[in-house]
Amino acid sequence: MPAETQPLFAAEGITKRFGGLVAVSDVSFEISRGEILGLIGPNGAGKSTIFNLISGFYRVTRGRTVFQGQDVSSLPIWKLARIGLARTFQHDSLLKGMTVRDNILVATTQFIRNPAEREKRMSETIDIMGLGEVLDEKASNLPHGHQRILSIAIAFSGRPALLCLDEPLTGFNQTEVLGGLDIIRRLREEFATTVLIVEHNMRAVMSLCDRILVLHHGKLLGSGSPEEVQNDPAIIEAYLGKSE
């Protein structure tokens, strides 16, 4: 299949066991190039496990993950980042004692050695993320919203083809949510970045995503456009319970 027509990413029957616990069971889906795909589900549905399997943080027990036509099931997280699949974490993995500028510099240096090209990449990233006014602040001194945006900047420093965002809007006020959504849309529009997002803010997910996957008890319950998902009786029941 030509590269331009094959999915950017595919999960093929992936299963993850932790001892006797099956956290994810036989889940299959694809992510198309240029898509913003949401992954939602009730607490304990397996979202974080799926995310960790996709990004190489966990190894699949059964099945496989395929990125740009290559079986990447056994690749660790740092190798996946090298070939264009990057992620953020729920709990920011920032260099808290370093400035915003140095956090972005360290991340960018992993991908670009030429000083002039590196400075250009850094400036571009800083502009997109709106971090220009806090460059000399230590990451530990930033308000929560800026720390979350900095974590996205670090993950995006390598210009990944697939950017996986793990609850990037958690703890944001409404103004910050709107700003975060604008950033994610820019990444797709200006850099053709494909995005997978796990997020509990349903209003944000519904306004941002082209398509949504719904997990329940470690299995894929349904998928579709935001409108289709919001009107699916099985999905409504999983979130709200049966009506009497």
Per-residue pLDDT of the chain (244 residues; tens, 9 = 90+): 555 678 999 999 999 999 999 999 999 999 999 999 999 998 889 999 999 999 999 999 999 999 999 999 999 999 999 999 999 986 667 899 999 999 999 999 999 999 999 999 999 999 999 999 999 999 999 998 999 999 999 999 999 999 999 999 988 999 999 999 999 999 999 999 999 999 989 999 999 999 999 999 999 999 999 999 989 988 888 775 654 4
Chain mean position to CA 90: 10
Whole-angstrom Cα distance, residue 47 to residue 68?
Answer: 22
Domains recognised in the chain with CATH numbers: 1-81+194-244 (3.40.50.300)
DSSP 8-state symbol, 204:
H
Q: Which two tokens stand for residue 12?
A: 């093929």
Is there a contact between 30 and 162 (Cβ–Cβ < 8 Å)?
no
Predicted TM-score (pTM) above 0.85:
yes
Whole-angstrom Cα distance, residue 139 to residue 141?
Answer: 5
DSSP 8-state symbol, 134:
G
Chain mean position to CA 145: 17
